[in-house]
Homo-oligomer: A and B are copies of this chain.
Amino acid sequence: MPATIRDVARASGVHISTVSRTFSAPHLVNPETRSRVLACADDLGYRPNRAARALITGRTHNIGLIIADIANPFFPPLIKAAESQARQRDYHVFVADTNEDPAAEEELVHALAKQVDGVLLCSPRMSNSLIEQLSREVPLVVINRQVAGLPAVVMDVGQGARLAIDHLLGLGHRDIALLSGPRGSWTSREIRRAAAAAVRAGGGDLTVLGPNLPTETGGTALAEQVRRCGATAVLAYNDLMAIGLMEGLHDLGLRVPGDVSVVGIDDITLSRLTRPKLTTVATPTAAAGRTAVDMLLQHDSPAATRNLRGGGRSSAGDDRRTTAQVMLQTELVIRDSTGPGPRAGRTDGAAGVEHPGPHCPAGPGSPAVATGEVVAS
């Protein structure tokens, strides 16, 4: 039913290749012919079939974005940033949700492989070796995970966890619980590692609870365990769990931060709307989305388009993709869910016990704005 290039050619009395050129290289066709063709095309409601075009050019101008869980408010800012960045480069983004299911991830990469020029794999739950294998099928950029040999952008959650723990220690907490994230999460491992080290260094005690579903429900379900383990402060894998935990503690009759302090990670919008407002580690999600798109599209510089005209050979040498790994800084945002612990006052190092304000920059001397930093190339 929809018009094809042949219909337009027939209607405008030119060869199909002229019609083709009218759309893909307009400057190569006589202005008069061009406008005639355009008129006919418009008339017939013709639009080039991108899939057919891709078959021969090898470029779809689409990019895939695979997300563990669209319902997690952590992701939308990343998705939107990726989309707007892609749009600027004349690409479209197709998002797909895996429901935290590793099998669905693999399945989706395969499904997307031939319909996109590359895929952004966000917070994957599958194994490194599988990711590596899939990367041979379609260009991949991994987000929130480091895989040897693959371009990646991660947030420095290790640093974030450290800041959070130091904040807690500084407030006089000694018994700290960590609500870990889902099995297979790189982020969760990094947090755990950093938190353990920081607690040890501060002479405290860390209880790890998990792995868990990174949702409110997951957090709520842990309230009882948190009480039993005797922790006076908790660091959660993400804000959702932290918020769920606060609910659960509330139902148990425990006060936040009176009885237990809670820190989240991500700084989702919601964390500013709870009562008490959540202290959390802000991660630069939008920047991550933008950066990932740029890394995926780095070889497709606007220059390539310019090079098409004239006999100048297009630079074939820069096809080599540099597989950089970018790490984005995080910062601690202190709000109302953290307060003095049992050893408050006895504190001898660390930061002051009083809240420095609603939006305090990370560690001493660290920049207030999260910036990208190339770690390896």
Contact = CB atoms under 8 A, between A and B. Distances in A.
A51 B55 contact: yes
B47 A113 contact: yes
Interface string A41-81: 00001010111101100001010000000110100110110
Contacts of A108: 92
B243 A273 contact: yes
Interface in A97-137: 97, 99, 108, 110-115, 136-137
Contacts of A115: 50-51, 62, 115
A324 interface: no
A301 B243 CA distance: 44
A333 to B, nearest CB: 18
Contacts of A52: 55, 114
Contacts of A54: 51
Interface in A1-56: 1-2, 45, 47, 49-52, 54-55
A185 to B, nearest CB: 20
Most buried by B among A51, A108, A113, A136: A51
A258 to B, nearest CB: 16
Most buried by B among A50, A108, A273: A273
Contacts of A136: 1-2, 45
Given A71-B73, A113-B47, A94 B97 contact: no
A97 B97 CA distance: 14
A200 interface: no
A93 B108 CA distance: 10
A360 interface: no
A165 B308 CA distance: 63
A274 interface: yes
Contacts of A137: 2, 45, 47
Interface of A: 1-2, 45, 47, 49-52, 54-55, 60, 62, 70-71, 73, 76-77, 79-80, 83-84, 92-97, 99, 108, 110-115, 136-137, 216, 243, 247, 269-270, 273-275
26 contacts: A1-B136, A2-B113, A47-B110, A47-B113, A47-B137, A50-B111, A51-B51, A51-B54, A51-B60, A51-B115, A62-B115, A70-B70, A71-B76, A73-B73, A79-B97, A83-B99, A84-B99, A92-B96, A93-B96, A95-B96, A95-B97, A115-B115, A216-B269, A243-B273, A270-B273, A273-B274
